[in-house]
Amino acid sequence: MRTGFLAALALGLAVSAPGQAQEEDFNTWLSGFEDRMVSRGVDSGIVDSMLDGLEPDMRIIDRDRSQPEFVRPIWSYLGIAASDLRIQNGLAAQSEHGATLDAIEARFGVRQEILVAIWGLESSYGAITGNNDVIRSLATLAWEGRRRDWAESQLFAVAEMIDNGYATREQLQGSWAGAMGQTQFIPTTYLERAVDFDGDGRRNIWTHEGDALASAANLLAEAGWQSGAPAVLEVALPEGFDLASWEPSQSRLVSEWAMMGVRPPSGEWQADHLMRAARLELPAGQSGPGFLTFPNFRVIKRYNNSTSYALGVAHLADRIAGGDPFIGDWPEGDTPLTRSQTREVQAALNAMGHNSGTPDGIAGPNTRRALRAFQRANGHPADGYLGTSMYEAITGQAPE
C-alpha cells in the first residue's frame, strides 16, 4: 500500500531513467493538470485548495529514482521487522485495543495478530505516519513522469476524499510515496477499502485506531483472507531433497510435502494442516530456512508485494501470539549480491543462453529462473538463491 521505511527495506527502491521532469517545467504540468481536473468535474475550489502555489519537492524525485547498491539480507530485514522491541510494543498495543481488535476479527475474520503486525510495520503502531505533504509528493511524482498516470489517479482520489469530507487538505500528511494514516493507505485504496468502524461518519485512518485496523482487515478480507488458516510455516527439507523438480509457484497439499520428507521444526504436522495447499519457498536457498506459504501469505502480499514483507508480517504476528523464533540457520556467509554484481551475473547468464532479461541489478523472477537453469545444468542445487557463492560459480571470480 505504500513505500515507507520497512517497505523500502523489503522491496528495495527501483532505479529509473529520468522522466519528463527535465522536458516540462512543473508549472506547465500543473496548469495542464488543473485544467484536466476541472474538465473532469472536480470543483475548482477543491482544485485551488489542493494545488494553488504548489512547488515540487525534489527530494521525492531523488527517493523515487534511488537504487541502493547494497541489498539487505532477508535475515537482517526480519530481525528488524520482528525485533524484541516491536514484539513488546505489539503486545502492549494488542492489550490496549483488545476489545476493538476482538470486534474487528469477529466482523472480518482476519486474525488480529496479523493486523497488529501490519500496524507495527506500517507505522510503529501509529507513532510514525509520515510528515510529507501527500499532495505535493504525488504532484512531484506526476510531474517527474515515470509514474505519471498512477500519481495523477491518486490526486483525483485525493480530490474525491476532500469533496466528500473524508479528510481536510491539512490532514493529508504521509509517506514520500503518498501513503497515509496508521495503516498507510494510498488515496485510491482509501476510497475502496477504508472503513468507518466506530460509526461516527468518518473513515479516520489517521487518528482512530479502530478505523485504521478495520480498514486493513477489510483490505485483507476483500483480497481473499481465509479465516482460521495459516499464512506461513517454517519447515526443514530432508537431505537430498530434489530441488531440480521443485517449482516455487507450484502448490501441493501439505500431506504431499510431508511424503517428500518436508517437516516442521517440531517434526510432526498438525492434522488440520495436512489437507491445505501450500507452496515451498526458499528465500535464502537450501542453506536457509524453508517455508510453506499458504494462500493467506499471498493475501498479505496484496498489501505489499514483497516476500520479505509478508514473512515479516506473518512472523511478527506469530511472535506476538507467543510463537517461537525461526529455528533454521540463515546462510550469513553467503550474502546477497550488490546491484552491480547482480548485473554482472545477469549479463553472464544471458551470454550462456539462460535468459534473465535486460540486466537491471534486480534479482527478480526472470533472473531466478535463469539461475536455476544454470544450477541444474552445472550440478548445483537448483534453489534460485543468488549469493556470493553463485557469483563466483557464474563469473569465475570471487566478489570484491
Residue 306 to residue 262: CA distance in whole angstroms: 24
CB 382 within 8 A of CB 246: yes
**SS3 assignment for 182-219:** CCCECHHHHHHHCCCCCCCCCCCCCCCHHHHHHHHHHH
For residues 120 and 90, give the distance between their C-alpha atoms in angstroms, rounded to a whole number: 7
Q: Which residues of the chain have pLDDT under 70?
A: 1-23, 67, 398-400
Residue range 232-320 in CATH 1.10.530.10: yes
77, 312 in Cβ contact below 8 A? yes
pLDDT of residue 145: 87
Which residues in the chain are classed under CATH 1.10.530.10? 232-320
Assigned C-alpha cell, 176: 514520500
| The dihedral formed by the CA atoms of 186, 315, 89 and 225, expressed in degrees to the nearest 10 | 50
* Cell reading at 251: 502448490
Q: What is the pLDDT of residue 328?
A: 94
Give which of 83, 86, 91, 75 is closest to 322, Cα–Cα: 91
Three-state DSSP at 106 gives helix
According to the model, what pLDDT value does residue 69 have? Answer: 79
Within 82-174, residue ranges assigned H as helices are 84-96, 98-108, 112-123, 134-144, 148-163
- Residue 68 pLDDT: 74
Confidence (pLDDT) at 21: 45
The predicted pLDDT at position 12 comes to 44
Does the model's pTM come out above 0.85? yes
